[in-house]
Every structure is written in structure tokens, then in C-alpha cells.
Amino acid sequence: MDKFVIHGGRRLRGEVAVSGSKNAALPILAATLLTDGPSTIVGAPDLVDVANMRQLLADLGAEVTGQGKRIQVAVRDERRSHAVYDRVRKMRASICVLGPMLAKRRRARVAMPGGCAIGLRPVNLHLRGLRALGAQIDLDGGDIVATAKRLRGTSVFLGGPFGSTVLGTANTMMAATLAQGRTVIESAACEPEVVDLAAFLNAAGAKITGAGTPRIVIEGVKQLHGAKHTIISDRIEAGTFMIAAAITHGEVIVRHVNLDHLVAVVDKLREIGVHVEPVGDAAVAISSSRHLEPVDVTTQPYPGFPTDLQAQLTALLCLADGNSAITEKIFPDRFLHVAELGRMGADIRKEGYTAIVTGVKRLVGAPVMASDLRASAALVLAGLVARGTTTVNRVYHIDRGYEQIERKLAALGANIRRTDGQPPPAD
């Protein structure tokens, strides 16, 4: 397994460009299963998860061609509708093929995803959406088996105990594009990735309005054609680089960023004392002095502070001048990074869904273990500022969501290198 070896203490300087959004690209690639013509997806990041989705589409009868930033998908054979457990357990976003296959092929068999390092990840709301559209859903041998003679438009409420669901909204919205009549999704997720998915679907002939609001209206159409679509920039990668600049007291311009997608993050960084200045339309300059103010932050569905930046912000607040309270309202168990940051000298105590962080003067390098994608990013950020050497093990987690993060950080002056290791275990 590859590791990152980081010698901390360098201030980051320079410019970095953010890649296309992983969490927009994955459902959009899945949505190509709804279409009857070839689609071209531009700007998807070159990541393990995207490679997994390409492979899954190929398993399901699509011809997937193109490398790097242009992926072409053309569905050739609609007979195979089984997303097997071996694929789904590698990538939970495989669940995104459920809605498209049900709507287009009238049947879908998708292995039920399990929990993961960030906690329980139920799919009951996905199933609620699809059932409301008229699907018959059974569980067989660990697989979700969904069938429908025809889907009918309906009104469905998709709010759950932790708010809206991003991929549950995506699945229901995708299925509803080919349903008969009008579907209204209430308490829909408002995330920019849902808006991007709706943009792709509309380019392919769907009739969706309201994406980006809690009420999405879909007028069913008979058929979708292929479309060309460019993926939005990755707001979580952008936020991670902004925090990297802040934690190292650096001066960094982050390019290819949409600050409208990062309002809560910019607000919190400014409250901490980080300087955040927009540069033109799609870039932002980040700099920070040595003094960081403690803050309280609660993760929330968009446009609130994203759970996918909670771990990285926690790393930053380890060095603030006082106590911060970080409350996780989306995935209450998403705190595995806390113990690892503790190995680097952080002072964090957990109280229920809240981590109380008492700022320390410095973090010290240590061997640490990544448990999930965003926790790994937090450990890398901590390593950039820690005194001495940090080894982040199991970086295959980070490779699922960040395109060449070590190269981008090294180009900003970080002393970070990847060391080769054994291939990751299947998990």
C-alpha cells in the first residue's frame, strides 16, 4: 500500500488548479445509462472512483472510451442489469445506477451497499423515492432487486433523520426523467452536484426544474438522447487546498473554483482569521497569519458547512488559539481522524456528535493511518504543518477522491512524497 511521507513546516506558496468534481462526475456517468445516444463527459477527475464507475458501466453493457478529461459512454447492451457486490463494496456511489437502470431497463439488481468508515449509510430514502414512482423493490441475496412495468410521476418527500439525501435525490430524479407524468421531490438535496446532474439530464432532453432548491419538479419524457457535459469543479478539493494554505500560513491562489459553492466554508475561514480574497471569476487567494481564532462549526446539508470538509477543518482548528466545537450533523460517527490527530499531539475530546478541540502550539509528525477519504486529507494537512516527519498510511483512500494531491501540494512547496507499496486490500 502506498504511503505519503511528509516533512512538515513548509509554507505553501503559488497556484493550484482544482479538478472536476468527483461527486458530480459519478452520478452523471451513471445517468448515461438512461440515454439512447452516446454522451461525452468532459472534465471528470482521473480518480480510482471514476475508474470504478467506468468499469461498472462497462459491466452493465456500456462502451466507455476516452482517457483523461474526456470520457465517451455509449450504451450497447441493456440486458445486463446486475451491479455485483464486488463492485459496489469498492464504491458506494455504485448505487447511482439503480434509478437509471430501473427507469430505462425496467429492472435493476444492485448489491446493497454496507456501512463504511464514516458510519451507517442506509439507502431507505433511495428506495422510498423509487417505490413512490411505482417500483417493486425486494431484497434477494444481499441485492436490491427493483422492477417496474412503468414508472409514474408522483410527489415524494425525501427528508430523513439527517436531512436531505444527495444520492437518494439523484436516484429518484434520474428515474423520474423517464416516468409518465410529473414528479415532485420535496426536501430534495440542494447540493451543486445535484444541480450539475440536472444540467446533464436536461442537456439530454429531460425536463427538470428547481434543482438546487428543496423542491425539484421533473416532467417525464419518453426518451433521453446523449449529451455533452462539462463537470463542475470540485468544491471539496478546493476547500481542502484553501485549508492547506491556511494551516501552513501560506499564500496560495486556488484556481478553477466556484466560490458560490463555498459560501459557508469561506465564512468559517474568515471567522478563523484566514484571508480569503476572490481573484476574478474562478479563483481565490488564501493567506493566513500565525494567529487562528477558534470557532464553532456544525456540518449541514448544502449550503451549510459540508461534512466532507469537517475533518480538514478539524486539523486546522487543532492550531487555533482556544477551544472550538465541531458538531457533525450528517454522519454522526465521522470522527475517526480524531484519534489519529491525537497521535500528532492534537487535544481533542469527543462529546456525542461534537469534537471539542483545544488548540495546541504545534503538531508533531507521527505515523498515522487513514480511515476514509476526507480523514486522510485531514492527516495530510496536519502533516504539512507538523514538526518532523508524518507518514500517512493507506493513501488509497485519498486516491479515491483527490487527483494527484501529493503532486499538487509539492508544486506549492510542500515536502511530500509517495512511497510505493503493495496493492491495497479489497475492502
Give the residue numbers annotated as catalytic, written as ranges: 116
In sequence order, the 6+-apart residues with CB closer than 8 A to the CB of 266 are 259, 276, 284
Which letter does DSSP use for residue 92 in this model? G
The C-alpha R_g of the chain, in whole angstroms, comes to 21
Q: Is 29 among the residues that bind ligand EPU (CB under 6 A)? A: no
Smallest separation, CB 34 to ligand EPU (Å) = 18
Q: Using alpha carbons, list the distances in angstroms from residue 75 to 57, 87, 259, 268, 349.
A: 8, 19, 35, 44, 51
Smallest separation, CB 33 to ligand EPU (Å) = 16
Count of residues in contact with ligand EPU, rule CB under 6 A: 26
Q: Is 374 among the residues that bind ligand EPU (CB under 6 A)? A: yes
Considering only 6, 71, 93, 148, the residue that binds ligand EPU (CB under 6 A) is 93
The count of other CB atoms within 10 Å of the CB of residue 95 is: 25
Place of cell 491562489: 253
Smallest separation, CB 26 to ligand EPU (Å) = 5
Smallest separation, CB 27 to ligand EPU (Å) = 7
Q: Is 276 among the residues that bind ligand EPU (CB under 6 A)? A: no
Smallest separation, CB 122 to ligand EPU (Å) = 4
- Smaller CB distance to ligand EPU: residue 30 or 341? 30
Smallest separation, CB 166 to ligand EPU (Å) = 3
- Which of the residues 329 through 348 are near ligand EPU (CB under 6 A)? 330-331
Q: Is 45 among the residues that bind ligand EPU (CB under 6 A)? A: no
Q: CB under 6 A: which stretch of 11-19, 133-141, 166-174, 244-252 binds ligand EPU?
A: 166-174
The grid coordinates listed for 330 are: 450528517
The whole-angstrom separation of Cα 312 and Cα 372 is: 12
Give me the helices (H) in 60-123, please.
Answer: 85-88, 98-105
- Which of the residues 98 through 137 are near ligand EPU (CB under 6 A)? 120-126
Over the window 292 to 321, marking each residue x when it contacts ligand EPU by CB under 6 A and - when it does not, the resulting string is ---------------xx-------------
3-state secondary structure 294-308: CCEEEECCCCCECHH
Q: CB under 6 A: which stretch of 75-83, 103-111, 165-173, 319-327 binds ligand EPU?
A: 165-173
The whole-angstrom separation of Cα 17 and Cα 77 is: 38
- Which of the residues 170 through 189 are near ligand EPU (CB under 6 A)? 189
The dihedral sign for the CA sequence 330, 334, 337, 338: positive
The whole-angstrom separation of Cα 278 and Cα 356 is: 31
Question: Mutual orientation of helices 192-203 and 22-31 as an angle, nearest 10°?
Answer: 30
The count of other CB atoms within 10 Å of the CB of residue 142 is: 10
* Chain contacts with ligand EPU (rule: CB under 6 A): 23, 26, 93, 120-126, 160-162, 165-168, 189, 193, 307-308, 330-331, 373-374, 401
